[in-house]
Amino acid sequence: MSKPPRRPSPQPAAPSPSPRRKTGPLVAVVAVAAGGLAVFALTASRRTGPAAAAPAETPSPPAAAAASQTPAPAPPAAAALQPHPQKELPPLPLPAYPLGRSTQVITAAYRFAAEHPEILTYVPCFCGCERSGHRGNEDCFVRTRAANGDVVEWEPHGMECNVCLDVATQAMQMYASGASVRDIRAAVEQKWAAQAAQLHTHTPTPDPPR
């Protein structure tokens, strides 16, 4: 009996070639991700930096600036309008040529104006000196006073103006007789009313206090 023919043993299958690793795209993805993380970290650090941590505080104004905004109190006007005896007066620069009134009258008017601003400040003048900025008869004789009320500079206009001198002399004589400043003002206005109306001259003198 014949032997059956041998079947050839099956050959093992050849291993399939392993697929190539696609390293190129994977590297690119990793690089993009790393770059994104770096940008995010940089942005976050800028947002949380010291400049953005807290708003800057508004500086408070200096004390001097705050003090300058406070209005200064108005000086008491009545304090300067009191009798002010002055032991030593500045020398009176009388000119060498003759004047319309005697030296004694001129000197007395200037002293009265220096020591009694509470009178002549409220007595008007009628010579037209309001065009020079005078507000009353006192301005015809006194130009500058110190902080304590002392006369430091004379107004030379009064020594050459007979109207200024006559108004001051009338006020001085009435004051010596005991008249009030309101009575003196009324008498002076009455005496010089005609000249004031004719020449349109009258200082803008404030009314005496009541």
% of the chain beyond a pLDDT of 90: 60
Calculate the CA dihedral of residues 140, 155, 132, 147 and round it to 10 degrees.
Answer: -90
| 37 falls within a domain | no
Q: How many domains does the chain have?
A: 1
| 46 falls within a domain | no
| 124 falls within a domain | yes
Closest CA to 150 of 75, 92, 80: 80
| 129 falls within a domain | yes
User: Which residue range forms the structural domain that includes residue 155?
Assistant: 102-199
| 176 falls within a domain | yes
The pair of three-digit structure tokens given for residue 112, joined into one six-digit string: 């009265």
pLDDT exceeds cutoff 70 at 39:
no
| 109 falls within a domain | yes
Tens of pLDDT, residue by residue over 90-129, are 999 999 999 999 999 999 999 999 999 999 999 999 999 9
Rounded to whole angstroms, how far apart are CA atoms 105 and 5? 175
pTM exceeds cut of 0.75: no
Average pLDDT in the chain: 77
pLDDT for position 179: 98
| 166 falls within a domain | yes
